[in-house]
A and B are shown apart, each in its own frame.
Chain A
Amino acid sequence: MIRVEGVCKSFGSQAVLRGVSFDIQPGEFTALIGLSGCGKSLLLKHLVGLLKPDRGRIWIGGQDIGQASGRQLEFLRSRIGFVFQGGALFDSMTVYDNVAFPLREKTRLREADVRRKVEEELELVGLHDAAGKFPAQLSGGMLKRVALARALVRDPEIVLFDEPTTGLDPVVSRAVLELFGSVHERLKLTGILVSHEIPRIFEIVQRVAMLHEGRIIAMDPPERFCALPNPVVQQFVNGSRVEQCVSPARAPNRMPGRRERTALLSTANPCHLMRGASLT
């Protein structure tokens, strides 16, 4: 369904993606993890053709995105839903109009059909009561759910989630991830979820891919991923400091205070918390 082969992207002298390759099968939900700033969101933007790689190729459903004409790219994008990190909702429109927008602009549905479809999607994400509200009146969790409803409204085959739980408290982020998981279960979508929510994401995805220093260094089902002997994977999964595995050139860019935060997180192996185990 999604095939990425040797994708490279540099900004000036800084190479961010250095030959990313992977395959995702239809109906598979994959988590993409990695350090902040390693290029995960950048990779997602390549998948939808918002950015062009310097080298390498990307196929979506057999279509090479780099070779696609404007019309083909438009058709490809109509098969993809994208949940942006901040939601990217149109702030001058209500929740209802935001969700209805892709239908009104890109389909010839009658308004009654648009209404039925929008209500269906809002029901799916549990926001049928918020249809008349504006994005500024919604909480962070509600924004993400509206963004999901808008991404799903045209029945895409692929949904890409760009850090959808950033800025949410643990309870809401868990609820949002569970919603994504249940939507995937029901609709059998192919999905890529960029997230730092370890171990919660392990409960909803079939495979986990780790992007490190511009390459996918591991891509396995969660259980096997957690058991990989790769020190970078182990230290990331266990929440301990990854700086030791990072090249010295990257080390000065780390955020201050991470040591304190990661020390707290590293007290338990998150893989023990997977699949229904209690978080408390």
Chain B
Amino acid sequence: MKPNCITAMGAGATAGIGRLGTTGLFLAHTLFCCLTPPVKGTRVLKQIWFIGWKSMLVIALTGTFTGMVLALQSFPTLRRVGSEALLGPLVALSLTRELGPVLTALMVTGRAGSAIAAEIGIMRTTEQIDALELMGLNPLRYVVVPNLLAALVALPLLTAVFDVVGTWGGYLVGVRLLGLDGGTYFGEISNHAEMKDILGGIYKALTFGLIIVWVCCYKGYHSRFGAEGVSAATTQAVVNSSVLILVWDYFVTSVVF
């Protein structure tokens, strides 16, 4: 019984390492294709529109309400210690350093990442990926690279939008609703926020964009056949990307800030 158990564990570990290797190779091939011509410019633009522009509304909404709730929750505590003037920096720094990139990435994963995984999964199931290969086209170059380049452009921009609308959301609650002075709100932000806070968030967004496309495209590309396979691939893509984003966020935060 014991040897069987050890054999099973060994087989599981070997398979896990194998999958990790395949995932790493997938990313390496994709990055190689990104750096070597030809790059499908039209498809990149189309995917920027899909990942970036079509996520704009959801990012604007979540950004606004995140800023609003941050201000609403923090204001009473700050007032208790007599530091309500610091509401602006608190909202702005929380958004630019942490909440902006992370929440943007999670929203994009849910909206665009799942769609990318499903689309590629269906292409795999209906043999469209095989058809590309038989036409002498590299499917990674055609299907994955445009998504990666688009995400690298869209995620930082969406994060910037999230930061801006979130800060305005905080302004609405802190200044219009709770009576803080508008000049104090923005003045304290410019006193405390530095360029490295903003850039740190943008760097995070870049790496999150890479993670979303890597995981979602990999899952779709290696989806099992049939509707069940595509559905499982989509679910795994969203769950794995979200978890990886949160785990990676800790490490990247410890390096960047």
Contact = CB atoms under 8 A, between A and B. Distances in A.
Contacts of B128: 88-91
Nearest to A82: B134
Contact of A84 (B122, B127, B136, B137): B127
Nearest to B133: A50
Interface string A79-102: 010101110111100000000011
Interface string A9-43: 00000000000000000000000000000000000
B135 interface: yes
Contacts of A74: 136
B135 A106 contact: yes
B135 A88 contact: no
A260 interface: no
A88 B136 contact: no
Contacts of A89: 128
Interface residues of B, number: 11
A50 B137 contact: no
A91 B127 CA distance: 11
A77 B136 contact: yes
Contact of A86 (B126, B134, B135, B136): B126
27 contacts: A48-B134, A50-B130, A50-B133, A50-B134, A75-B136, A77-B133, A77-B134, A77-B135, A80-B134, A82-B131, A82-B134, A84-B127, A84-B130, A85-B127, A86-B126, A86-B127, A88-B128, A88-B131, A89-B128, A90-B131, A91-B122, A91-B126, A101-B135, A102-B135, A105-B135, A106-B135, A106-B137
Interface of A: 45, 48, 50, 74-75, 77-78, 80, 82, 84-86, 88-91, 101-102, 105-106
A105 B137 contact: yes
A78 B136 contact: yes
A88 B137 contact: no
Interface string B174-207: 0000000000000000000000000000000000
A33 to B, nearest CB: 21
Nearest to B135: A102
Contacts of B122: 91
In this complex, which of B122, B127, B130, B137 has the most chain A Cβ atoms within 10 angstroms of its Cβ?
Answer: B127
B135 A84 contact: no
